[in-house]
Amino acid sequence: SPTSPKPPASPSEKCGPLNVTKITEHGKRVRKNWMSSWTVLKGSTLLFAKGQGGGTSWFGGGQSKPEFTVDLRGGSVDWAPKEKSSKKHVLELKIRQGMELLLWSEDDGVVNEWFKALQDSISAHAWE
């Protein structure tokens, strides 16, 4: 009917391909391992699903799971400083427990969209 309310907007829901690497884990620097990932943002949860191809380890650390999930609450995102990567349009995502990730796509439009979506998610869930 014309009076039915619209569902609430979901500003921080997004998915798409993105390249990702950990650079810090438990506050310690780890070796980069760029991987292409199907990346899903839902609420304050960011999920990286393994791309095509075989292999049992995903995201370093000898994990056998095909997915890796991080909680964005209390995190921060910004453009990565130049010394963190020679690539252009790289985001640096800092999350709890001393973890830092780099996110990158060749398509700067894609990276800009992710920047906005991640910022939206982080600010929307800042007080949880």
Residue 36 beta carbon to ligand I3S: minimum distance, rounded to whole angstroms: 12
Q: Report the residue from 15, 29, 34, 78 that binds ligand I3S according to the rule CB under 6 A.
A: 34
User: In this structure, what DSSP letter does residue 115 have?
Assistant: H
Residue position matching structure tokens 């619209």: 6
| CA distance linking residue 62 with residue 112, whole number of Å | 31
Is residue 86 involved in binding ligand I3S (CB under 6 A)? yes
Is residue 36 involved in binding ligand I3S (CB under 6 A)? no
Between 16 and 60, CB nearer to ligand I3S: 60
Binding residues for ligand I3S, rule: CB under 6 A, are: 32, 34, 85-87
